[in-house]
Structure 1
Amino acid sequence: MRLTEFSELMTAEFGTSADSLLADHVLIELDGRTGSQAIEDGVDPKQVWLALCRDLDVPRQRW
């Protein structure tokens, strides 16, 4: 997944909270990193997207 697609999905799903979630929400599934940290560390944005969706109970049809 490209970062532009990831960014579009984040904005569509979480609106104005997207940037805060990415920077502040710690994901145990990603070794206790935030989404931003994980992406900076080279984790595929798709994996970050899926981890956020699971952690924040996004309905599966919107993953």
Structure 2
Amino acid sequence: MRHTDFRERMAEEFGRLRAEMLAEDHVLSTLGGRTADQALEAGYSPKQVWLALCDVFEVPAARR
């Protein structure tokens, strides 16, 4: 998954504004206590970050 794909999926699932807020502000314990943006900057793959968000927000498997 590319970074652009990650951002598109975030916007589709959560809405553009909420997706931006989640990426900036929501801390994910499974990503070492980082936000999605921090995790991406730290070298986590967009797919790892996406799946971590899907787990936390219970995104159905069909949309993961």
Q: Which runs of 5+ in 1 are unaligned?
A: none
Give the TM-score of the pair, scaled to structure 1.
Answer: 0.96
Q: Percent identity?
A: 56
Give the aligned partner of residue 52 of structure 2. 51
Give the aligned partner of residue 4 of structure 2. 4
Q: Which runs of 5+ in 2 are unaligned?
A: none
- Partners of 1:31 and 1:7 lie apart in 2 by 21
Give the aligned partner of residue 13 of structure 1. 13
Give the TM-score of the pair, scaled to structure 2.
Answer: 0.94
Following TM superposition, where does structure 1 have runs of at least 4 consecutive aligned residues deviating by more than 3 angstroms? none
Q: How many residues align?
A: 63
Indicate the RMSD between aligned Cα atoms, in angstroms: 0.6
